Amino acid sequence: MKTINDFNFSNKKAIIRVDFNVPLNEQFQVTDDNRIVAAKPTIDKIVNDGGVAILMSHLGRPKNGPEDKFSLKHIVSKVEEVLGRKVTFVNDSVGADVEKVVADAKEGDVILLENLRFYKEEEAGDEAFAEKLSKLGDVYVNDAFGTAHRAHASTTIVAKFFPNDKCFGTLLAKEIESIDKVLNSTDKPVTAVLGGSKVSSKITIIENILDKVDHMIIGGGMMFTFIKAQGGKIGSSLVEDDKMELALEILAKAKAKNVQIHIPVDVMAADAFSNDANTQIVASNDIPDGWQGLDVGPKTLEQFNKVIMDSKIILWNGPLGVFEMEKFAAGTITLGNFIADATEAGTFSLVGGGDSVAAVKQFGLDDKVSYVSTGGGAMLEMLEGQTLPGIAAILN
């Protein structure tokens, strides 16, 4: 696996696919700079070697060519602040103006191109557009994990024009290594914590990782499909009735593979989906009519703690309850603290998927786990066993 550490960028121009698809407020200010911060080590290495860093990214989903609200000009000051250096913005991604700015660049310069998705050729994976991008650099670096599952011009097709001069940036290399560590670890036991509302959205992951894990903790709304399938009473909790047979098949497969499945034994039930609801702790398979489980209970957490603390590798994808409401956040926070304690004791922990990442950030746990993935969809596809086009393009 070639990374930026295999190259010396002195007197070289590196065209880098970064993921600067960051949220902006109504004043067009960046409200979360994590993706910019994540790209900094790659950019630093290139400019410190004496190279030129040419950054290309998309922002949002522009529909009909250039739209001011999706212009990357809005993030220039934030990128300069994070990098601690001047950034030259070019209001196009290809063409004579861009080529002139790049040709005039001096060692250590950082150039940010305009939103790639102002060209429909980007998402279409157009080869002629990719070739125009390729003319800007001597080396192609992909450091955008969040878009590695898309075969777009800048994430995949452009790599063909750099048969020997292409590599992964620091961030993308770390993502690949972290997921590989979970899926192909010799350290045992490996535990996967899967939450979220639906079994249907996690089924491919479950089937792919059953061969890789020793324990699987199931939380969130999807647990009620498993509980009801086994004859439990779940009140008015979320359920996918058409997936109950599938849930039983998963349990049977897990048993055959000697994987222990852990399903909550008690829940915090509420009489409404509201922070102001009345609540009670009840057995997860005996929830009264008109009540719904919105978080896990204390006995469940006690059992999960033992599994987590005994684990050598942990994958966490999905919350245990409706953590967005303070009343039902305790299960997810407590689980996060268990994982933080295990990590401190030497366990490798990978957190990925939108809700889990949001939870660890919200509760200040992102520095207490081994790695927080930056790419929701990309990570899920890797866990499902798919080869991502953006990764394959560098490896080929």
- Is residue 49 part of an annotated ligand binding site? no
Q: How far is CA 259 from the centre of its chain?
A: 25
- Is residue 150 part of an annotated ligand binding site? yes
Q: Could you tell me which of 314, 316, 286, 306 has the C-alpha nearest to residue 220?
A: 316
> To which H or E segment does residue 15 belong?
strand 13-17
Concatenated DSSP letters of 20-39: ----B-TT--BS--HHHHHH
- Is residue 21 part of an annotated ligand binding site? yes
- Is residue 220 part of an annotated ligand binding site? no
Catalytically annotated residue among 35, 166, 174, 243: 35
- Is residue 17 part of an annotated ligand binding site? no
Strands (E), 318-385: 348-351, 371-372
- Is residue 85 part of an annotated ligand binding site? no
Catalytically annotated residue among 50, 108, 232, 377: 377
Catalytically annotated residue among 40, 181, 198, 299: 198
Six-digit token string for 276: 């102001």
Active site residue 35: yes
Active site residue 354: yes
- Is residue 60 part of an annotated ligand binding site? yes
CA–CA gap between residue 51 and residue 137 (Å, rounded): 10
- Is residue 19 part of an annotated ligand binding site? yes
Three-state DSSP at 84 gives coil
Catalytically annotated residue among 181, 354, 361, 368: 354
Active site residue 346: no
Describe the strand order of the beta sheet including 52-56 as a list of residue ranges: 88-90, 110-113, 52-56, 13-17, 139-142, 166-168
- Is residue 117 part of an annotated ligand binding site? yes
Q: 108: burial class by Cβ within 10 Å (0-12, 13-18, 19+)?
A: middle
Residue list, annotated binding site: 19-21, 35, 58-61, 117, 150, 202, 293, 324, 353-356
Residue list, annotated binding site for (2R)-3-phosphoglycerate: 35, 117, 150
Residue list, annotated binding site for substrate: 19-21, 35, 58-61, 117, 150
Residue list, annotated binding site for ATP: 202, 293, 324, 353-356
Active site residues: 35, 198, 354, 377
